[in-house]
Structure 1
Amino acid sequence: MTLEPGVLSDVSQRALPGAPSCLLVVSPEREGADLVEWGRAHAPALRHLLSARPAMLFRGFRVPGVDAFERFAECIQPTLAEYLERSTPRTEVSGKVYTSTEYPAHETIPQHNEMSYASAWPMKLFFHCVQPSQEGGATPIADSRSVLEWLSPEVRERFTQRRVMYVRNYGTGVDLPWQKVFQTEDRTQVDEYCQRVGMQVEWLGGNRLRTRSVRPAVTKHPLTGEDVWFNQAHLFHVSNLGPKVSAAMRSVFKEEDLPRNSLYGDGSPISDADLEEVREAFRKTTYAFPWQAGDVMMLDNMLVTHGRTPFSGARRVVVAMGEMRSERDS
């Protein structure tokens, strides 16, 4: 089958009520249509369309298991990515498919662009709902361009010019150990990797490690040329833990020893007012839909953020990533 760029056949395309224009719902015209088979025929069209519709929800297709989800993702992105420079606990499910972040069900995961704190990040994200939760457990999304538009010119300018510094302390007994983050037990390999990607390294007593990395806060999308909000400043900041927990953390750790925190790229603190404005921009632009069993969602990770709402009952959503990119590619 040969298709014009961006043309999808044998499906209906629609929006969900109240959804942002970035989200497109694609459903088969024929009941029981296999997503992998359809995806193979439409992969070039989907890749072409993704910049215009950077969040696509495939609903109503037959997806017989995680292996089928992985094969569909590989139709769009033949080489899927490993989860490196880890920031959250996940488990490898199959090949390059991982569980979604394994945080407790009662916790909210704020909106973020996947791995925007890292030296390299995936351009494409794939989610598959194997089992929706009884209540809650949505994966809300927001348009990164809309988030940027909601911010005041002063806040945009500060973040654009100063960038974001991510500070992590490993080996504190809180958060992931450096061995898990860098997938090695060898300190020399960590040093070499960090030097290669421009990350400052400081080994402390007790086999503890501190890293500092300065990354963009606002950047341009490589295909559309649009400015996008692209960072995890509000998520990494200690205030993300909430007033009680962040106060408790600060009572235990010195500011420089916090397990993770964010600063402006010049090392100056990000003000509470600036962080609140960022969070308000996400509140204004975030959209959530309930998962259905078998759903697959594909995102352009630079144009669309994602998160997770609290949930009850069993929930299983798996994730794959692809098309890694770094600042050096700009």
Structure 2
Amino acid sequence: MSVHRGPVSGQRRAIALATTDWVRPGGTPPGRELPLVLRPSHDDVDLAAWAGTHGGRVRSWLHRYGALLFRDFHVAQEDFGEVVRALAGEPLAYVERSSPRTEIGDHIYTATDHPADQPIALHNENSYQREFPATLAFCCAVAAESGGATPVADTRRILARLDPGVVRDFARVGVRYVRNYGEGVGLPWPEVFQTDNRDEVAAYCQERGIDLEWKPDGGLRTSHVRPALAEHPVTGERVWFNHAIFFHVTSLLPEVRDAVLRQFAEEDLPSNTYYGDGRPIEPDVLDHLRDAYRSELVALPWEPGDVMVVDNLLSAHGREPFTGARRVLVGMAGTVRWDDVRVTGETP
């Protein structure tokens, strides 16, 4: 097998993978621990072929840095599924959805179809679910004219920045997620649960400890609690891992938040979060959490053909607003269950 995909004198050049180091680490942005930027040491290196024989090295880097940016490999949209399989594993279906996405085939999706002028806060994919992906892979097919980066942040460092009292409170009770689905309220429940059968939705929720209530107008309200901290299944490191900020109503843009609060009673908001015991999260705690995320945020502009691989527990991710055309794809792989990573014992 070759990792070189360009013709040389009319023939494909075959190089022994074991004896040639085709990918070189270029370090991380100044003063930051992630992402590790990796570039090919030769022209036209086939990233999928290289990753297929260097999985151990990829995992080692990923568990150390949390996010890897493969640059100058010129990965095309039609090749991205193969790259995801080589770098992360078989792509997963997107279930219990919270963001509009378009599937382009084989469980490869647009990263989000959220409006271009609205930022997407840092979060860890599907941390509100019973199971969530271990790894995410993003590919830039078209870079935005301005903005549009996929920022990342080290969740180990976020946790280290948090006040121990805040951490203990969340570790003790977790995060309660309340969502409403209906006409004009977030995503409709058939899209979220990928079925229009109420019995199937009820069975899905019951199996996962999600309380549900069918509303008189045909809408749906769900409420459930998940932990706020996790222990990485490989490294054993503790991480801040939740959607407490992401789904809180105060995280909406001010003009959107004001309109939503005028239109809906608190219990009918499209989404909101609380302490796991139902208490409101105090404004100063919300500000403290946002400061921790903001302090660790790293945003590198996309270049066409870039691929970024993210360990979902070690790195949060988001999206900057942008102008112009932008097309970033995502594949999610590996399944982790909360039962296997929840924090036990004393929390500092």
Matched with 2:3 is none
Flag structure 2 segments of 5+ consecutive residues without an equivalent: 1-15, 342-348
Change (3 A) 1:288 1:187: same
Matched, 1:132 2:143: yes
* 1:240 and 2:256 correspond: no
Q: 1:20 aligned to 2:52?
A: no
Q: Distance in 1 between matches of 2:299 and 2:88?
A: 26
Q: What one-letter code is carried by the residue in structure 1 that aligns with 2:286?
A: L
Deviation at 1:247, TM superposition (A): 2.9
Correspondent of 2:210 among 177, 199, 202: 199
Deviations 1:193-218 (A, max 9, x none): 10111111111112211101101111
Moved more, 167-176 or 123-132: 167-176
| 1:67 CA drift (Å) | 3.0
Question: Is residue 2:69 matched to residue 1:57?
Answer: yes
1:154-185 Cα distance to aligned partner (Å, 9 max, x none): 21112111210110011141210100000001
Q: Is the 8 A contact 1:19 1:287 kept in 2?
A: no
- What displacement does 1:312 show? 0.6
Match of 2:328 in 1: 317
- Checking the alignment, whether the CA contact within 8 Å between 1:67 and 1:94 is kept in structure 2 is no
1:150 corresponds in structure 2 to 161
Residue of structure 2 aligned with 1:87, choices 98, 108, 111 = 98
SS in 2 for 1:188: helix
Q: Call closer, same or farther: CA 1:77–1:242 in 2, change over 3 Å.
A: closer
SS in 2 for 1:45: helix
- Using the TM superposition, give the Cα deviation of residue 263 of structure 1 relative to its aligned residue in structure 2, in angstroms: 0.7
Q: 1:40 aligns with which of 30, 42, 52?
A: 52
CA distance in 2, matches of 1:225, 1:36: 29
What residue in structure 1 maps to residue 7 of structure 2? none
- Pick one of 167, 170, 174 that aligns with 2:185: 174
Alpha carbons 2:129, 2:226 under 8 Å: kept: yes
Distance 1:177-1:138 versus aligned 2 partners, 3 A rule: same
TM value normalised by structure 2: 0.90
In structure 2, C-alpha distance between the alignment counterparts of 1:76 and 1:296, rounded to whole Å: 10
Conserved 8 A contact 1:24-1:53: yes
Q: Report the Cα offset of residue 266 of structure 1.
A: 0.5
Find the residue that maps to 2:260 and give its secondary structure: helix
CA–CA distance in structure 2, aligned partners of residues 31 and 287 of structure 1 = 28
1:73 pairs with 56, 67, 84, which one? 84
- Structure 1 counterpart of 2:176, from 160, 165, 170: 165
CA shift, 1:61, in A, is: 1.2
User: Within the alignment, does 1:300 sit opposite 2:311 as a pair?
Assistant: yes
C-alpha displacement of 1:48: 3.3
Question: In the alignment, which residue of structure 1 is the partner of 2:233?
Answer: 222
Letter of the aligned partner of 2:318 in structure 1? G
Question: Which secondary structure state, in structure 2, belongs to the residue aligned with residue 105 of structure 1?
Answer: coil
Q: Bigger radius of gyration, 1 or 2?
A: 2
Query: 2:49–2:86: 8 Å Cα contact kept in structure 1?
Result: no
1:104 maps to which residue? 115
1:309 shift after superposition: 0.8
1:271 corresponding residue in structure 2? 282
Which stretches of structure 1, 4 residues or longer, exceed 6 Å deviation after superposition? none
Distance 1:66 1:242 in 2: 32
Identity of aligned residues (%): 44
- When residues 8 and 47 of structure 1 are mapped into structure 2, their CA distance, relative to the original with a 3 A threshold, is farther
Give the counterpart of 1:250 among 245, 261, 278.
261
Structure 2 Cα separation of the partners of residues 93 and 238 of structure 1: 31
Report the CA distance between 1:307 and its aligned residue: 0.7
Q: Does 1:116 align with 2:127?
A: yes
By how many angstroms is 1:295 displaced?
A: 0.3
* RMSD value, Cα: 1.7
Cα displacement (A) at 1:2: 7.5
Equivalent residue of 2:104, what SS?
strand
Post-superposition shift, 1:19?
5.4
User: What is the alpha-carbon distance in structure 2 between the residues aligned to residue 211 and residue 128 of structure 1?
Assistant: 33
Report the Cα distance in structure 2 between the residues aligned to 1:186 and 1:162, rounded to whole angstroms.
Answer: 32
Distance 2:232 2:256 in 1: 36
TM-score, scaled relative to structure 1: 0.95
Q: Report the CA distance shift for 1:96/1:8 in structure 2 as closer, same or farther (over 3 A).
A: farther
For 2:22 and 2:288, how far apart are their aligned partners in 1? 43
**Distance (whole Å) between structure 1 residues aligned to residue 70 and residue 287 of structure 2:** 34
